[in-house]
Amino acid sequence: MSAPQPISNLTQAFEKTGLSSSPRNTVSTSPTTSYMDQYKPSSKASKTLKPFSTGDVKILLLENVNQTALDIFGQQGYQVEFLKTSLPEEELIEKIKDVHAIGIRSKTRLTENVLKHAKHLVAIGCFCIGTNQVDLEFAAKSGIAVFNSPFSNSRSVAELTIAEIIALSRELGDRNMELHNGFWNKKSARCWEVRGKTLGIVGYGHIGSQLSVLAESLGMNVLYYDVTMIMSLGNSKQVGSLAELLNNSDFISLHVPETPDTKQMISTPQLAEMKDGAYLINNSRGTVVDLPALIDALKIGKLAGACIDVYPKEPRANGPHFNGDELLPFIDELKSLKNVILTPHIGGSTEEAQSAIGIEVGTVLSKYLNEGASVGAVNFPEVSLRPLDLDEQNVCRILYIHHNVPGVLKTVNQILSDYNIEKQFSDSRGDIAYLMADVSGVNSDDIKNLYTELEATSYNISTRLLY
Ligand SMILES: NC(=O)c1ccc[n+]([C@@H]2O[C@H](COP(=O)([O-])OP(=O)(O)OC[C@H]3O[C@@H](n4cnc5c(N)ncnc54)[C@H](O)[C@@H]3O)[C@@H](O)[C@H]2O)c1
């Protein structure tokens, strides 16, 4: 093996190989500073890896993603093209051909037809919660990791729920509508303080647990039901069954994911279990509540009110959607009911949530481009290696996305067998597997050979080398 060389020599040597013009399968340069430094776990200086010379990384950001993401990519020195709108498919195909990463929100559809043109793309950032707009399977098969931001808006949903608890118990929606229509209706009957009342939370995850803390600070008692045993925050108490929660709560707030188990988990039998005059809030998913059953419970006065933010079927764009059954067949009935607050899926829609989404997705995308860490990917094995120490010279990080079939590790380790493998980690998800390895004592020729040999394996989907 050749003698170790300074990293600057390696960079120059490697530029001559021409491999850096093949971005998805590429070898990197290694600048000494990076935005990611602030996320390093230890105080010990770590070596920063980069996939290409920074000016070569091209990112297309569509749909007006938040400025926080632009700032992150700007600090990395990436070439960013920023557009406020989504693009028609033909324009998208043209633009996606050249970029290494793309950032979208919910309107851009990254179908197989679009992605098959994305020859350099290594990552997609969905600057939103959902990822239905991306063909996740095709992306994974093409070695493209997809990231999103599932929890950046938890606080916003919890705060909206607090507002709704008070709004329901004071019939705020109705008073507001009445006065807007010129009707003065000062009343206190069946209007309550929330202090001392019991909030029952179904699903004590990111949102449910935040809500519990906020509700307790208002003097509420908090019960929660969750399929998992979870340590309570504050004085809240986990109960053993949904029925126990329903029997004992003045307000029920739903914060479960959409799964076969949660489909219509609140229907006639569950509504019957609730206290007379209780309130129901659904800011989770539209499928969780049986809306016709809720309408019946409100009509007969079993419940004193409800807030609905999410619906089984929702319009894709803002505007008038109340004709026919476009939104809901029973929207007219919901609109006619007293103390029912209807909102258009705005639980997580705040400036703060958008900003947090920009930071979260911007950071994971940079981390994937710079270090290969795929933690948080929704379609891909989640793999990470601890950063390299600053004093680790002539080390190369291998990122090898491959078909999940027998014999791969034997082949890869045969290729790596002449070098010292500092660390190695591999995981699979379905047909796709991802191996990360740090190999030391390599010079530019070694790196070139490693790249060529790994890329030539029959299992290869995509190979990147960072140093
Ligand atoms: N309205 C909005 O704008 C908005 C915004 C963000 C999230 N959401 C929705 O809110 C819901 C909760 O989000 P989160 O981030 O808190 O999720 P999370 O995954 O952090 O928490 C969900 C909790 O529900 C529990 N759970 C799952 N199945 C259950 C069941 N059958 N019975 C009881 N508990 C169950 C889980 O164990 C977990 O603790 C999700 O449906 C999400 O899509 C809505």
Please report, in tens digits, the pLDDT of each residue of the chain (467 residues total): 333 333 333 333 333 333 333 445 444 333 333 333 444 444 455 555 555 444 588 999 999 999 999 999 999 889 999 999 999 999 999 999 999 999 999 889 999 999 999 999 999 999 998 898 999 999 999 999 999 998 999 999 999 999 999 999 999 999 999 999 999 999 999 999 999 999 999 999 999 999 999 999 999 999 999 999 999 999 999 999 999 999 999 999 999 999 999 999 999 999 999 999 999 999 999 999 999 999 999 999 999 999 999 998 888 778 886 655 556 667 888 989 999 999 999 999 999 999 999 999 999 999 999 999 999 999 999 999 988 776 777 899 999 999 999 999 999 999 999 999 999 999 999 999 999 999 999 988 998 899 999 999 999 999 999 88
Q: Work out which ligand 1 atom sits closest to the CA atom of 256.
A: 24
What's residue 171's pLDDT? 98
Q: How far apart are CA 191 and CA 168, in angstroms?
A: 9
Kindly list the protein residues whose Cβ atom lies closer than 6 A to any atom of ligand 1.
129, 151, 153-154, 157, 202-208, 225-228, 255-259, 261-262, 283-285, 309-310, 345, 347-348
Residues 238, 164 share a domain: yes
Residues 87, 53 share a domain: yes
> Pairing relation of β-strands 46-47 and 388-389?
antiparallel
At position 227, the amino acid (one-letter code) is: V
Q: Which value, to the nearest 10 degrees, does the dihedral of the CA atoms of residues 386, 390, 396, 399 take? A: 30
| Domains contained in the chain, number | 3
Mutate to test the pocket of ligand 1, among 226, 231, 242, 254 (most ligand atoms within 8 A of CB): 226
Q: Work out which ligand 1 atom sits closest to the CA atom of 259.
A: 28
Is residue 285 among the annotated active site residues? yes
User: Which residues constitute the domain of residue 425?
Assistant: 388-467
Residues 141, 180 share a domain: no
What's residue 349's pLDDT? 92
* 3-class state of residue 81 by DSSP: strand
In a domain, 194, yes or no: yes
Distance 206 CA to ligand 1 centre (A): 7
What's residue 386's pLDDT? 87
Residues 265, 206 share a domain: yes
In a domain, 41, yes or no: no
Placement of tokens 């190369």 in the chain: 396
Catalytic residue among 91, 178, 193, 314: 314
What's residue 192's pLDDT? 98
CA-closest residue to ligand 1 atom 41: 257
Is residue 178 among the annotated active site residues? no
Residues 72, 193 share a domain: no
Distance 203 CA to ligand 1 centre (A): 6
CA-closest residue to ligand 1 atom 40: 257
The model carries a pTM of 0.81
Residues 358, 220 share a domain: no
Q: Work out which ligand 1 atom sits closest to the CA atom of 262.
A: 31
| CATH code for position 217 | 3.40.50.720
Distance 259 CA to ligand 1 centre (A): 10
Residues 118, 219 share a domain: no
Starting at the edge strand found earlier in the chain, the sheet holding 123-126 runs 79-82, 58-61, 101-104, 123-126, 145-147
What's residue 44's pLDDT? 53
In a domain, 9, yes or no: no
328 φ/ψ angles, rounded to the nearest 5 degrees: -155, 140
CA-closest residue to ligand 1 atom 10: 284
What's residue 49's pLDDT? 56
What's residue 256's pLDDT? 97
Burial (CB count <10 Å: 0-12, 13-18, 19+), residue 138: middle
Q: Give, as one character, the DSSP assignment of residue 285.
A: -
CA-closest residue to ligand 1 atom 7: 284
What's residue 255's pLDDT? 98
Mutate to test the pocket of ligand 1, among 160, 164, 238, 255 (most ligand atoms within 8 A of CB): 255
Residues 177, 142 share a domain: no
At position 346, the amino acid (one-letter code) is: I
Q: How far apart are CA 137 and CA 143, in angstroms?
A: 10
Mutate to test the pocket of ligand 1, among 212, 256, 263, 307 (most ligand atoms within 8 A of CB): 256
At position 3, the amino acid (one-letter code) is: A
Is residue 63 among the annotated active site residues? no
Residues 373, 306 share a domain: no
With contact defined as beta carbons under 8 Å apart, do 130 and 106 qualify? yes
What's residue 16's pLDDT? 35
Catalytic residue among 24, 155, 285, 397: 285
Cβ neighbours of 31 (radius 10 Å)? 15
CA-closest residue to ligand 1 atom 21: 205
Calculate helix-pair angle for 444-456, 7-17, nearest 10 degrees. Answer: 50
Q: How far apart are CA 319 and CA 327, in angstroms?
A: 11
Distance 409 CA to ligand 1 centre (A): 38
Residues 400, 363 share a domain: no
Catalytic residue among 109, 170, 345, 429: 345
